Copies of this chain bind each other. A is one copy, B any other.
Amino acid sequence: MNVTLRQLRAFTGVYRTRSITRAARELGITQSAASLLIQQLESQLGVKLFDRSTRSVQPTLAADDAFQSAERMLSDALGLSRRMRDLAQARAGRVAFVASAGAASALLPAVLARFRAAHPDIEIDMRDVAADDLVPRMIATDAEFAIGSVEGEIAEMTVETLTRGRLSAIGRRTADFAARRSLTWDELAERPTIAMRRETRIRMQIDQALGPQGKRLTPTYEVTLINTALAMTAQGLGLAILPATMLPAEQFPTLIARPLVRPAITRPVSLLQRQGRTLSPAAQAFVSTARAVLAQRTGRGS
């Protein structure tokens, strides 16, 4: 058998109190148990630690020597427990994840704000990447999860749809536009529109979905960055054709989104995780915050 922390606890207790009885009380064990623990420790270390009579318990020089190591180990043990408890309660730690640029700019700011309020000491490492890089970066780095639009299966990963954003027309809150429940794709032809360039994921999905229906989007403007599209829309240059989830209400308070139908095209906001790997408590907390925020958002319409 080897030295145990139990023995060391008894040892430091006796060393400090100079009494086996008192130390035992502190530890919540009987005096005889404490006595045995000291004896064991002495025999395992091969050193007498206390000169004891019924009347006094005097530490030997060896005990003076051992005391420091013992204290350090015990405080390390306590520190470890505390640290793990903090990690478990997401009061310490770090969340590293990948987010597509779209999610990062529109969806996640709210999540981040809420998460930070609840878990102020968690380090957040959000890697915002172009949509195409989402999965490769997730695979290549130590990110615990990824948030973005992913369709289909990916090896070694689980994909879960958090919410679906309907492709929408985003425009200024004019009486006319605000009155609409929805717009059809056909109706867009009559109006100036701002869409993403053909190379982008969003646009590719639109074209793929409309093609079989014999329809086609012919935008007035084509841009690369979502923000550009929204800024142009805010200027009244036309309707932006985007998932509603990509409209940050705080940033563009004058804009509103109205779903496009016939056909309704939806785009998932997905959560990507490594299969068979548990998220750290901090990451779990983050994910559930994200769920909560997205649920609200969906509730008030998307």
| Residues of A participating in the B interface, judged by any CB pair closer than 8 Å | 2-6, 44-48, 51, 53, 56, 58, 60-62, 65-66, 69-70, 72-73, 76-77, 79-81, 83-85, 87-88, 93-94, 144, 276-278, 280-281
Contact = CB atoms under 8 A, between A and B. Distances in A.
B93 A66 contact: no
Total copies of the chain: 2
A87 B61 CA distance: 9
Given A65-B84, A69-B80, 17 more contacts: A2-B5, A3-B5, A4-B4, A4-B5, A4-B6, A5-B5, A47-B281, A48-B278, A56-B276, A61-B87, A61-B144, A62-B88, A65-B83, A65-B93, A66-B84, A69-B83, A73-B76
B61 A70 contact: no
Contacts of A56: 276
A80 B45 contact: yes
7 contacts: A2-B77, A4-B4, A45-B80, A47-B281, A65-B83, A65-B93, A70-B80
Contacts of A61: 87, 93-94, 144, 280
A130 B28 CA distance: 51
A221 B135 CA distance: 104
B84 A45 contact: yes
Contacts of A94: 61
A118 B72 CA distance: 32
Contact of A46 (B65, B85, B278): B85
Nearest to A95: B61
B278 A47 contact: no
Q: By CB atoms of chain B within 10 A, which of A65, A70, A144 has the most?
A: A65
B46 A84 contact: yes
In order of increasing CB-CB distance, the 8 nearest A-B pairs are: A45-B84, A69-B80, A46-B88, A47-B84, A61-B280, A73-B76, A51-B277, A47-B88
